[in-house]
Amino acid sequence: MKLIQLFTQGLLPVFALSCCLTACNRDELPGGDAEKNDELKPLDINVSTGWNTKAILQGTVMPDNSQLGLTILKADGTQYDGGYTNVCYTGSGTPQTWTANPPILLSSTVGTVYAYYPYNVAHRDIAEIPVNVTQGWDVLYSEPAANINNANSTAAIKLKHALSVIRFTLTRGSYAGPGNITAIKVKGEGMASSANLNAKNGTFTAYSGKGADISFGDTPTLPASGSQVVVNQLVIPTGSTGAMEVTATIDGLTYKATTGTSLQSSAQNVYNLVLTFNDQAMSMSSVSIIPRGEEEVDISDPVIVP
């Protein structure tokens, strides 16, 4: 009788464990799919540009220690789990890797990643990034990287230009003076000096300085006859049309010229024009309009805002 009792008592715990394991579903066990789906995973990004731009970007990678501001939103546009807005990612090394401290952590929730350059800690809204061309740095935004979560944790960040460039090739015609240029200004309804960038789609709102003078940062000396010098200025395209007016001050004298060339709506271009200085006048002729990314644009190094 005692033998039967001992056998029965020893069997009961084994039977209970067996029932528990049978009743549990696979997803509820350690290592099951439910636990895997709830695991937070750091966001990885691959950044590309697809163009070759002197002094800003070389080849299809950003310079070392470039900083991007990243935001992830749910598919419906609301805040993602954890509320990741304007997270700074820094690129370094070869091949280039991008890291953040702390990084964006992905859940099973599907989201869309947006990025802009250069990073600024003050920018809290990806749809309203203040841009001012007088600050002297280029501005980039990315195509949206959709369907990102912990099961698809690498976002392809393809950067695009937000600004246009006015490029003047300066030549000496019959002008006989020393050629000390102290100011070059351009204006037109098709350009503005400041606005808010929506980095979700590359559009601008809240324009300021539309149709007002925008001063070039570079004022070189007019070269000798037969030579030329190139100056560039970033501008915000407004989508409006109208003539472009240029004012240049050389050896204390002010010259003006007007062209019918308009900045194209919803396009980021390089506008190539030639300014020729003669004794009594400055003439301006349009050469070409080239989409940014199809040629190298040598402008001053971009300033990264801390």
Give CA–CA dist 151/260, Å, rounded.
53
Q: Rounded to whole angstroms, how far apart are CA atoms 52 and 71? A: 26
> What does DSSP assign to residue 96?
T
Task: Give residues with Cβ within 8 angstroms of 264, minimum separation 6.
Answer: 190, 237, 289
The conformation of residue 30, written as its DSSP 8-state character, comes to T
Per-residue pLDDT at 95: 84
Block means of pLDDT (10 residues each) for the chain, length 306 residues? Answer: 41 42 41 59 90 45 89 95 96 92 97 97 95 90 96 95 90 92 93 96 94 92 90 90 88 88 66 86 81 54 28
- Distances in Å between the Cα of 198 and the Cα atoms of 11, 27, 244, 301 are 69, 42, 26, 23
Distance separating alpha carbons of residues 271 and 287, to the nearest angstrom: 8
Q: Which pLDDT does position 16 carry in this prediction?
A: 43
Which pLDDT belongs to residue 240?
Answer: 84
Question: What's the pLDDT score for residue 226?
Answer: 86
Note the Cα 300 to chain centre separation in Å. 17
Nearest alpha-carbon partner for 116 in 165, 154, 76, 71: 71
Q: What's the confidence (pLDDT) of residue 264?
A: 66
178 φ/ψ sector (left φ>0, alpha ψ -120 to 50, else beta)? alpha
